[in-house]
Amino acid sequence: MQSCNAQPADTHAPQPTTIDNQQSTFRSSLTLTDFTEVAAATIDGVVHIKTEMTQLTPLYQSFFGFIIERGVQRQTYSAYGSGVIVTTDGYILTNNHVVQDAERITVTLNDRRELPAKLVGNDPATDLAVIKVEAEGLTYIPFGNSDKVRVGEPVLAIGNPFNLTSTVTSGIISAKARNMNIIDNPRSNETPLESFLQTDAAVNSGNSGGALVNSNAELIGIVTAIASGNSGNYIGYSFAIPSNITLKVAGDLQKYGYVQRGYLGVQVTEVDANVARQTGARETKGLYVVKVNRDCAAERAGIRQGDIIVHVAGKEVNTFAEMMEELGLFSPGDEVDVDYVRDGHSNSVKVTLLNLHGNSQIIRK
């Protein structure tokens, strides 16, 4: 994973909106307990996205037994999805797979206005993208804290399944930190970050990029996938990217055009009963360190092969997805506490995370 002249500021000029400061200023005056109120407060913050792409298809002709290419046929086709407005001036979160390769992006608001959109940045490793429309005074959905989401908590999914605009479905959080191995990341030097919220709220084709909101009308996830079997339609479960990850990714895409990821530089396996027997671990908890990458953050901090990582930044980690979710909130140069067990003894160390290149410099697209 790792290989390891100045101008005074114009204080009167309008300051650009950032996703971070827009969200941090939101304060809800209501404690919403009725889902009719939640739907009313959030439905205008979800948009319909149409993308258009051109596909080139070779044209062939048979000539005296030989197949000869006679040119190409250009065919335009469309795809559809959903998006979530996260600032009043038109920054929208969606899935990367909704907008990747798009030559034209059109956003339809809940009031039926159609606006062209441009791609601000995309991140295949999390299947997230940020797009922007030129508008002011839009209704947006504030971010909630996905770390505080509890299994069994009621939620709403809002999107545009089958091109049916502004559709709301309800369910509960069925599980957290699900790794489904469904993100196909073309950047081979990065590990896909999958730590989905699982819900039984009905989601279908077209919901991708839509909102998963809690009973306080806060965004806790971006809907990204469904369990569909061979039908391609919803059969009981859907999955959403946690809001804490989306906020970090969106902020980096807006600022740098590329997500700044901090890495430990370890290869781990989950400590189950079999691993505990083989390694002598006293509990079936944590992540057993199989390998420490040379000259990476973990090695520099003194973590060794055979250690069992049990907490990252104060959060208990028992699965690879949980560790990746927690690390995904930090950037190269950030210092995080890592608790681990070595030879039956608990230890704690501060680790300065590094980027893919083994340093803490900003990586730009």
Q: Catalytic site residues?
A: 97, 127, 208
Residue 346 · residue 283 · CB < 8 Å: no
What residues pair up with 118 in beta bridges, in sequence order? 132
The tokens describing 281, both together, are: 């671990």
Residue-level length of the chain: 365
Report yes or no: 249 and 318 within 8 Å, Cβ to Cβ: no
Residue 297, helix vs strand vs coil: helix
Residue 322 three-state SS: helix
Q: Which two tokens stand for residue 178?
A: 């699900």
> Is the separation of the CB atoms in 345 and 254 below 8 Å?
no
How far is CA 277 from its chain centroid?
35
Q: What is the DSSP string of 206-223?
A: T-TT-EEE-TTS-EEEEE
Compute how many other C-beta atoms are within 10 angstroms of the C-beta atom of residue 106: 17
Give the three-state DSSP class for 285. Answer: coil
Torsion angles phi and psi, residue 276, rounded to 5: -60, -40
